[in-house]
Amino acid sequence: MTSSDHIQWFRSAAPYINAFRKKTFVIALTGEQVRSQLFINLIHDIALCHHLGIRLVIIHGSRLQIDELLQHQGVQSRFHHGIRVSEASSMPTIIQAISQVRHTIDARLSMGLPNTPMSGSEISVISGNFVTGMPLGIIDGVDMQYSGKVRSINSQAIHSLLGDHIVLLSNIGFSRSGESFNLPAEELACQVAISLRAEKLIYFNRDFIRNPDTDQFSTAQCKAYLQQGNLPKSLHSLLSQAIEAVNHQVRRVHILDENLDGGLLQELFTRDGAGMMVTNLFYEGLRKASIDDIGGILELIHPLEQSGALIKRSREQLELEIDYFHVIEKDGMVIACIASIPDPQTPVAEVACVAVHEDFRNAGFGDQLLTAVELEARKQGLTHLYILTTRTSHWFLEKGFSEQGIDFLPASKRQAYNADRGSRVMAKSLTEQG
């Protein structure tokens, strides 16, 4: 990589850095990861995220370490439905194993040796009794003893610490009666992300769904995979948690390849994914339009045509162009639409007829539509999107478009350009990073 590549890469990361500052991410680490050779690099990457202003909560599991320590003491663990029965007599050992993992993470985040990526890094890590646990109880006649589930999370206390500190939570919950419960880390991470209304919940795993067309999955698609019933157990569990989190307002859940060095940074700061993402942001109600949507689209855009925000489109024109439209439907009503009309001669497409119903503005629907159109245009190998706009140039500026001269327009469009309307030509390159 030359130095200009580095600069280009750094610049291309800037929009992500800006978007993530002050956002809350919950990162779930497994006990195995803490042992892995890649762990030290992951810690450097986590430290970097913290220094870039991301509010981080780290949850760690300890399964491997608990197994080892119990084995070392000659204790054979019992499992029921894949969950360890945490017996009273084993709890001191279980707590010891959990504490060891937490100490390792604490110690690694405290490093600051010169000539390392942590040089000059001073990170304050705080752990505490933020999680209340309760017993899982008796399942099919088996008393799960000190294996527990999350009862509540003191999200207010965690919120007050984030930003200045990284909050580190072990897979343990304390009860009102002063007992400690061994919690599943994946579930704890999911519940913490929900209670904090986190922007992202990030898991690591060996297995994830590989689809050559996309690394983004809706909860409906994930449910379909779960129903097929042939997923590896760990992925099954993570997908269930991901669905739960997204259904409770966590915007995006990532399942990253635990064996990929730098996967966290790759997923967060580049367009190349490092695993899979579960979100409904792009999919819930967003779909390609069909001929049945014409009535709904006309109803949506009519007031905007009246006010001059959009150019008038006849029903006939809409019928001809309907395949180029995406819509967002809510409760049977078209609440937003966008068209992306490819030029027949050049690899560019015009974005047109962008409209979000007044009652649904400022909720990110416009952004979702534009993102969907961009994704599709990239897949089709288009080099640019452009738009003619009179009133919304700043909205498009914020989405990475920049103003161009009339000459930018493809020939056919240039001839039809209405100088009286005075629309600005804005375009976005799909080939540059950023």
Interface ranges with ligand COA (CB under 6 A): 304, 309-310, 354-356, 361-367, 387, 389, 391-392, 394-395
Task: State the minimum distance, in angstroms, from the CB of residue 143 to ligand COA.
Answer: 51
Shortest spacing between CB 364 and ligand COA, in angstroms = 5
Tokens of 170: 């072990």
Min dist. Cβ of residue 22 to ligand COA (A): 14
Backbone angles phi and psi of 327, in degrees to 5: -130, 160
Q: Which residue is nearest to ligand COA (CB)?
A: 366
Query: No. of H helices and E strands in the chain?
Result: 15, 23
CB of 394 to ligand COA, least distance (A): 4
Say if strands 148-153 and 55-60 run parallel, antiparallel, or are unpaired.
unpaired
Sequence-ordered list of residues with C-beta below 8 angstroms from that of 178, at least 6 positions apart, any chain: none
Residue 225 CB contacts under 8 Å (≥ 6 apart), including other chains:
209, 217, 231, 239
Residue 286 CB, nearest approach to ligand COA (Å) = 12
Give the length of the chain: 434
Q: Name the residue nearer to ligand COA (CB basis): 153 or 301.
A: 301
The smaller minimum CB distance to ligand COA, of residues 264 and 354, is found at 354
Q: DSSP states of 104-145 as a string?
A: HHHHHHT---TTSTTTT---EEE--S-EEEEE--EETTEE-B
CB of 301 to ligand COA, least distance (A): 8
Q: Which residues make Cβ contacts (< 8 Å) with residue 250, sequence separation at least 6?
A: 190, 193, 194, 197, 198, 199, 200, 201
Give the C-alpha separation, 51 to 20, whole Å: 11
Residue 253 DSSP label: E
Tell me whether residue 51 or residue 391 sits nearer to ligand COA (CB atom): 391
SS3 for 88?
helix
- The CA-atom distances, in angstroms, between 8 and each of 200, 430, 432, 434 are 26, 15, 10, 9
Q: Smallest distance from the beta carbon of 229 to ligand COA, in angstroms?
A: 38
Give pairs for 337-340: CB < 8 Å, separation 24+. Answer: 337/289, 337/293, 337/297, 337/300, 337/301, 337/369, 338/369, 338/370, 338/372, 338/373, 340/373, 340/376, 340/377, 340/385
291 burial level (CB within 10 Å; 0-12, 13-18, 19+): exposed
Residue 253 burial (CB count, 10 A): 29
> Quick one: 239 or 409, whose CB is closer to ligand COA?
409
The rounded distance, in Å, linking the Cα atoms of 275 and 273 is 6
If the CB atoms of residues 188 and 425 are measured against ligand COA, the closer one turns out to be 425
Return the number of the residue (151 or 302) whose C-beta is nearest ligand COA.
302
Nearest approach, Cβ of 350 to ligand COA (angstroms)? 10
> 286 has which bridge partners?
328
Nearer to ligand COA, 54 or 336 (CB): 336
Return the number of the residue (19 or 113) whose C-beta is nearest ligand COA: 19
| Residue whose CB is less far from ligand COA, 33 or 368 | 368
Closest CB 388 distance from ligand COA, rounded Å: 7
Q: For ligand COA, which is the closer residue by CB, 4 or 418?
A: 418
- To the nearest whole angstrom, how small is the minimum distance from the Cβ of residue 328 to ligand COA? 9
